[in-house]
A and B are shown apart, each in its own frame.
Chain A
């Protein structure tokens, strides 16, 4: 158990729907990162939050949004889902905003039918 908790583990939904993925970072970690892993794109950075503030955005679609709450948990919202959004979504956490070691959760596997 890495200490980073992601829910749900698996999610099956239909095109056009909206889903929310949740992440609880390791105790004491202030940074949360979201990554998408797909066969064609590999591991792609989506967004980084540090202590409630957005720090960096990567290849995140406009249909996707995220936030980090005061208790430091984070949610990734995916809307108007398309078949191509099917992927494994990872959350990772670290102590600070810098180049610390990222500890990854087990991932949320999203299947869009």
Chain B
């Protein structure tokens, strides 16, 4: 079975602080994909990143960076120098190539990030 755990329900930081959102996943499949989505107060789900299970290279995009470690089944997300506009719920998700669930995203419960000015 596929499972995603985001242990941090809520995180509050002050602007310009760095913050890391944790994500731990479970799957028996060797080919899988990991995602992060952002849900701002307006409610839509915005795609941030996708990584496949064969690419453990960390990625940086502006103030965002992602650390993928297969050894610990983790795919953590760090925001550097946080801003008020980063306040949102962040979801980690998992997808596999298993036939019956092809393309389906398994979401974690999300982490509510609040950045105070």
Assess whether B26 is interfacial by the CB under 8 Å rule.
no
Q: Are B35 and A55 neighbours in the complex by a CB distance under 8 Å?
A: no
Q: Tell me whether B100 is interfacial, beta carbon within 8 Å.
A: yes
Structural contact, B91 and A99, CB atoms closer than 8 A: no
Task: Write the chain A residue with the least CB distance to B96.
Answer: A99
Interface 9-mer from A15-23, A68-76, A104-112? A104-112
The segment from B17-25, B43-51, B80-88 found at the interface with A is: B43-51
- Chain B interface residue bracket vs A: 20 to 34
A104 vs B39: C-alpha distance when bound (angstroms): 11
Contact present for B43 and A107 (CB under 8 Å)? yes
Report the nearest B residue to A50, measured CB to CB: B103
Assuming the contacts A104-B44, A106-B43, asked whether A43 and B95 have C-beta atoms less than 8 A apart, the reply is no
A55-B110 contact in complex given A88-B43, A101-B35, C-beta closer than 8 Å: no
Q: Is A64 an interface residue (CB 8 A)?
A: no
Cα distance, A108 to B95, chains bound together (Å) = 24
Closest CB of chain B to A60's CB: distance in Å? 12
Contact residues in A for B37 (Cβ distance below 8 Å): 104
0/1 string, A69-112, CB within 8 A of B gives 1: 00000000000000000001010101011111111111101000
The answer to whether residues A58 and B104 also contact, given A43-B91, A99-B96 and a CB cut-off of 8 A, is: yes
5 residue pairs bridging A and B, Cβ less than 8 Å apart: A88-B43, A96-B103, A97-B103, A98-B102, A102-B103
